Amino acid sequence: MTHTSHIHDDGSHHDHDHPHAEISVGEKPGYYAVMETAVRELLIAKGLITANDIRHQLEVLDSRTPALGAKVVARAWVDPGFKARLLADGRAACEEFGISFYDDTQLIVLENTPAVHNLIVCTLCSCYPRPVLGLPPDWYKLKPYRARAVSEPRVVLREFGTIIPDDVEVRVSDSTSAVRYLVLPMRPAGTENLGEEQLAALVTRDAMIGVIPVTLDQEVGQ
Amino acid sequence: MSGSEDLVRRLPNDIGGFAAGSVQRVEHDLLPWEKSCHALADVLDFTKIINTEEKRRGVEALGETMIGQLSYYERWIVAFANILFAKQILSPTELAMKMAEVEARHVDAGDARG
């Protein structure tokens, strides 16, 4: 993240009179960015962490997107055995599926049914099933969602355009630093002929948070 | 309830159930330093230097005013600094000196580029 020397691993070299498109060049970092660099470099200098730890974790963060969660959901829709294992132990089933958990968290998968709609929140901060969904959106971390999801979930859902009928129970699960949740949305009608990959393409991040359903016209609706 | 007991019962993070405005579906791609801060947080957790719960409490300990004015990752890095001071892993002087050095590095780089 800091200025790097102009040595390229691949041994390439070119004229460096032009500015790189990379971050950092020339622009003066803000107070907090300077603080972050300083803390990181001090800890590295003390041998408490390594630059490689940080580089590796940046790569891990880049590798986690809602597409992973979508694959898990699609597999659960087509494979009842996997779904049963997923609902019994979310983390173990995801690991079996090849998704590593880089943090010390448990995953509870909550199944939406015609009778129950699940919604996840972290009222205290921003806990989120990051190994399977990546980083949370800003609105998930901001006060309106955190404050109101637990007290008036139906109103909050309406703000996402989701109307839950009165006879459907709404369950809100509040995440903690150790326990994270993922919503298993309902498979939409009319998808009987779709393959697993096509199904996964329908599943959005917001559906796995529980603020919207999965619909066939997802890409149009979004 | 007349007021002050609410401050005792609820720390600043504890906002579940409070009234608040409507949800605006805002999102932004992390700035490079924010992403680096996130990676740092994860590494601090893995290495048992600062775990997630300590981080959460560290943010809480910033108090309502700072929580209200700092952005998400600004709160994190300030909380990390405070926790590292408390654990005597870093000293405030050490951090101030290092920050001056990092800043000078960028000033130099800017000058060099003219």
Distance from CA of A11 to the nearest CA of B (A): 23
Distance from CA of B43 to the nearest CA of A (A): 7
Using CB atoms, which residue from A38, A57, A151 is nearest to B39? A57
With CB atoms and an 8 Å threshold, state whether B99 touches A38.
yes
Do you know the residue count of chain A? 222
Q: CA nearest A174 in B: which residue?
A: B16
Q: Check whether A103 has a pLDDT greater than 90.
A: no
Of the residues A122, A151, A173, A175, only one is catalytic, namely A122
Q: Check whether A161 has a pLDDT greater than 80.
A: yes
With CB atoms and an 8 Å threshold, state whether A49 touches B20.
no
Of the residues A24, A63, A100, A125, only one is catalytic, namely A125
Which residues are bridge partners to A121 per DSSP? A174
Enumerate the H helices of A105-152 as residue ranges.
130-133, 138-141, 143-148
**CB contact burial A106-127 (16+ within 10 A = b; e otherwise):** ebbbbebeeeebbbbbbbbbbb
- Which of 75-114 (B) contact A at CB < 8 A? 77-78, 80-81, 84, 89-90, 94-95, 98-99, 101-103, 105-107, 109-110, 113
Spell out the domains of chain A, with CATH numbers in brackets. Answer: 65-221 (3.90.330.10)
User: How much is the ipTM here?
Assistant: 0.89
Q: CA nearest B107 in A: which residue?
A: A28
For chain A, percent of residues with pLDDT exceeding 70: 86
Contact A140, A119 (CB under 8 A): no
Q: What is the pLDDT of residues A49-99, one digit of tens each?
A: 999 999 999 999 999 999 999 999 999 999 999 999 999 999 999 999 999
Element (H, E) at B78: helix B72-86
How far apart CA A121 and CA B59 sit, in angstroms, is 18
Mean pLDDT of B74-96: 98
Radius of gyration of chain B (CA): 18
Q: Check whether A14 has a pLDDT greater than 80.
A: no
Element (H, E) at B95: helix B92-113
Contact A173, A119 (CB under 8 A): yes
Q: Check whether A220 has a pLDDT greater than 50.
A: no
Mean pLDDT of A40-52: 98
- Measured N-to-C along each axis, helices B32-46 and A51-63 cross at an angle, to the nearest 10 degrees, of 110
pLDDT for A94: 97
Domain ranges, ordered by start, for chain B: 30-113
Q: Which CATH architecture has domain B30-113?
A: Orthogonal Bundle (1.10)
